[in-house]
Structure formats: structure tokens, C-alpha cells
Structure 1
Amino acid sequence: MVPVGERGRVLITGLSVLETLGRHADGLGVTDLAREVGGDKGNVHRITQLLCEQGYVEQDEISRRYTLTSQIVQLAGRALRQLDVRGLAEPVLRRLSAATGESVHLAVRTRAGGVYVSQIRAANRLSVETDIGSSPIVHATATGKALFAHAADAVLDAALDGGLERYTIRTVTSRRALDDMLAEVRSRGYAIDDEELNADVRCVAAPLFDGNRAVTAAIGVSGPVSRIPVSRLPELGELVRAASDQVTASIGGERPGSDREVAAAPAG
């Protein structure tokens, strides 16, 4: 067993404090709280004060009892919605695949970037394969651009830490050009990959938003250029955006306006 260091013990005590307060709707004073978590009163008091500073716990000025805040509920709600987004999205993905005749996929945002979690393949025809568990390339895929179009500059910088690698002659390798593309995504509501990752493949993707208007996932449609000419991209874009709006509504989310709004990265 790996020894638990001081920071580990503080973390464990902090989690115990949250779990204990979750069982006591009326709250607890620091003495009772320390007794229930089996910790030193001074240490429990310091940890509880830190949790107050972070907004997860509050103390009543009269009773001096500590209780959980609604921030915990919001945090749990975001986690539950992310866990359930795949189940809520799959009926929409199936309808979208039937409407477009192409393969459809779902990717969720993570701290590291994103990951493909679901694919519905086009029935009775050759289609573009998406590797479940792989990550979309931020600058070279419609899905990657959809996931990061609303991200803060620092978040985008981190996602592009490896640089803008060229995959085809159409891959964007300039940060200025990428920024222009992301502005277009925010304006029209969907992103395009025009043979930027793989020659002869086009993709359209649109982001899903949570209750804080932060991007939590993206839906994409992919197919060969023989079936997705440039003239078809606006039609597919509107279909994908409508599908993303439907799933966004089902998870209690809301699409932001066309102006750039910073979205925080979800926990992965």
C-alpha cells in the first residue's frame, strides 16, 4: 500500500467533512464534526474554513454550524449530466445518422482535451470510422474545433501545447488562421473539417453546452467527400447544430450567444 502523505490526509479529511455534512441537513458545529470524522478539532476547523473559502461549505453566524452550499449540488449535477450525456445523446445520434446517411459520433470534453465516446455508423454503406477512446485533434477536426471554439485562450493554448501539426495540405498550421476559424464556429454554431485531418474526408460538428453555457461535448457527422461536397456542408451544419441543441436542452444546458463567451473545461 502506498503511504498516505500529509496532503493525502488533508484531502481525506476534507472529503470526510463533505460526506459528513451531507448527512446532516441542519449542519454541525466543529466539535461534533471533528468527532464524526475522527479528526483533530484544530485540523478539522482549518480544513472546514478552507472549504468555506472555496464556497463548498458555509457557517451560520448565530448557530456556528457548518452546512453544505448549493455549489456542491451544482458540482454533482454537472458530473451526473456528463455521465449521462452519452445515454441522452444516442437516440439523437441515431436520428441524425438516418437523416444524413452518414456516420455520427459524440465526443466529450476532458481536462486533457476530449475523447470520442460513441459512434453510430451509417447503415448499409462504407463509412468513416471513429476510434472510440481516441482524442480529436483540436486544430484539424471539426469535433476538436467545436469542443474548443468557446474555450479561454489559456485553455486553448494548453490543448495546442504540441503545436499545430500538418496532416494534409489543408491543415491549418497558423494560430491566427485557427482563431479565425473558431470565431466562425461561434458565429454559425458548427465547425467544419474540410479534408484537414484525412484527405477525402469531411466532417461537421457542433458543441453541446451545460447549464453554465460551458462546452461539455460535441456531436459530429463524417463522410467521404464523394457524398459530402462543399455545397452540402451548410445543410449538414444546420442538422448537426439542431441535434446538439436538442441534447443541450436535455441535459439542462443553454447555448451562449454568438459573441465569444469563456467556457470552463469540465472535469475529466
Structure 2
Amino acid sequence: MRNVVNTLRVLEEVAARQPIGVGELARAVQMPKSSVQRALVTLNTAGWIRPASGESRRWVVTTKALAVGGRASADLGLRDAAVPIMEDLRQRTEETIHLTVPEEGKVVLIERLETSKPVRISMALGHALPLHASANGKAVLANSGQEVLVRLLAGELPRYTDNTVTDPDRLQAELARVRERGYAVNRGEWRIDVGSVAAAVLEAPGKPVASLSVNIPMSRLAGDAEEVYGLAVSEAAAKLSAMHGRAGPELTG
């Protein structure tokens, strides 16, 4: 049983940090490299992961993980309802749009519509993002019950870039600002060149079921872009919340 649990832990970390190598994985899951390597061989043989393109010693998840995840979220009908709203948001912003759902202390990408611009943000479906270091995650976290934040802050917050907010007081202050304005911003906190603006989709107060985001290279997240995209994504999230049967986050401008 322990080997099975360790293998699943390795799969989760590959999904969260892909592409990733054995050494980084071993540090993330606090397991010996030999144990991580055995787990990787098992997952590769079963078709859950594959070597990253051009990087034989680094790993990414396959569409098999996405297929299972897709079936898990399909009952909500969320993706079908979201796509037309996402398309409208893409046309309005001319940028890549993501739909994520909260799962096991992270948010997972379940749908994306890409921009036609040559420089864009590319992320595989099924990819997991941290709550504290992504706009999607912070939008969900800001609209979750206090117990979710308490669990997150029980451990040390991982630092992904120099911009990652790891201080609990700073994070709580930022989440208060998210609630005040209705959207969250990621300024290179997960990957240094990736920016995004996101808003939560609510089933009920304190119960976010998803988040929508506008995702752009940091070079285009300048000037009044944050506010413009923030208003657009907040309106889209409120519309999806209403279609899902509940009122969305209150828009404060």
C-alpha cells in the first residue's frame, strides 16, 4: 500500500511541476531518488506520464490523467456552460482564457481557449497550479472558507520565483484585496514570465467551484491591463456563477 501511495504522490507532483526531473521530484515528495525513479517507471509503463519533448530526463503527464480528471468534473456540466463565456472573454481580451477547478489544495486546468497572438501562455490540460502563487488559486482561496487558508498556512508556502508571496501576513492582505476588487492577479509568481488575472466562480458564498482567468506574458501585463482584464474576467465569472445556479462574486470595480 505504501508503494501505491508514494507512486500517486509522484504523479501529483509531476502534474503540478511538469516538466520535472528525478532530483527535483525527490526533494518535493521527500523520498529517495531510487524510490522516485521506480515510481516514474511504473507510471510511464501504465501510460500516466511520458518523457518531456526533447528532455529525456524530465517528465510530464499524458492525456490519460486528463481523461480521468475530465470524467470527474463532467457531472457538474461546468465546462459546457463555461466555453461560450470563455469564448466571449477571449474575443473581448484577445488573450488566452483558462478554466480551473479546485482539487486537493490546488487548482487544476480543465479547459483553455488560446489567443491567436504568436507570443502566448501554453499550459497542458490537467496541469495543477498552487493556490498561493497563481491568480486562479488566489481567486479560489480568497472566496473559500477560513479553514482552507488555515490548512494552507499550516505548512511552509513553496517559493516558485522571487515574486512568490510566501509570508502569511502578506498573503492574507492580498486575499483581502482580491475580495474587495473581485479579481486576483499573478505577477510572475508561479513562473517569472507568466502573468494572469482571475475571478472565482461560486456555487454559494464561501464555496468556489471554479475560476476563470486571462493569461498573458508578463510583457503584456502593464499599464491599466490588470484593471481592464480584472473587470472583464469578473463579469465573466459572475455570469458563469449565475448559470451554475448561484450568484457570482460581487463586482466592486
Which TM-score applies when normalising by structure 2? 0.65
Q: Partner residue of 1:191?
A: 184
Count residues in correspondence: 181
Contact 1:105 1:119 in 2 (8 A): yes
* One-letter amino acid matched to 1:185: V
Q: Partner residue of 1:94?
A: 87
- The reply to whether residue 138 of structure 1 matches residue 131 of structure 2 is yes
Q: 1:83 aligns with which of 61, 69, 76?
A: 76
* Aligned-partner Cα distance in 1 for 2:94–2:250: 30
Residue 180 of structure 1: how far off its partner (Å): 0.4
Q: Deviations over 1:139-184 (max 9, x none)?
A: 1110110111122232123245552122222111100000001001
Q: Partner residue of 1:50?
A: none
Q: Deviations over 1:4-58 (max 9, x none)?
A: xxxxxxxxxxxxxxxxxxxxxxxxxxxxxxxxxxxxxxxxxxxxxxxxxxxxxxx
- Counting aligned pairs with the same residue, the percent is 32
Residue 226 of structure 1: how far off its partner (Å): 2.2
* One-letter amino acid matched to 1:205: A
Where in structure 2 are the equivalents of 1:154-173 lying within 5 Å?
A: 154-160=147-153, 162-173=155-166
* Aligned-partner Cα distance in 1 for 2:73–2:239: 18
- The reply to whether residue 253 of structure 1 matches residue 251 of structure 2 is no
Where in structure 2 are the equivalents of 1:1-268 lying within 5 Å?
A: 83-160=76-153, 162-211=155-204, 214-255=207-248
Residue 216 of structure 1: how far off its partner (Å): 0.8
Q: Deviations over 1:175-198 (max 9, x none)?
A: 000000100111111000011111
Q: Partner residue of 2:41?
A: none
Residue 230 of structure 1: how far off its partner (Å): 4.2
Residue 80 of structure 1: how far off its partner (Å): 9.0
* Aligned-partner Cα distance in 1 for 2:183–2:235: 10
Q: Per residue, is there more strand in 1 or in 2?
A: 2
Contact 1:106 1:118 in 2 (8 A): yes
Runs (4+) of structure 1 moved beyond 4 Å? 79-82
* One-letter amino acid matched to 1:252: G
Q: For residue 77 of structure 2, give the secondary structure of its aligned residue in structure 1.
A: helix
* Aligned-partner Cα distance in 1 for 2:193–2:180: 26
Segments of 5+ residues of structure 1 without an aligned counterpart are 1-78, 259-268
**In terms of Rg, which structure is larger?**
1
* One-letter amino acid matched to 2:124: D
* Aligned-partner Cα distance in 2 for 1:135–1:123: 24
Which TM-score applies when normalising by structure 1? 0.62
Q: For residue 234 of structure 1, give the secondary structure of its aligned residue in structure 2.
A: helix
Q: For residue 147 of structure 1, give the secondary structure of its aligned residue in structure 2.
A: helix
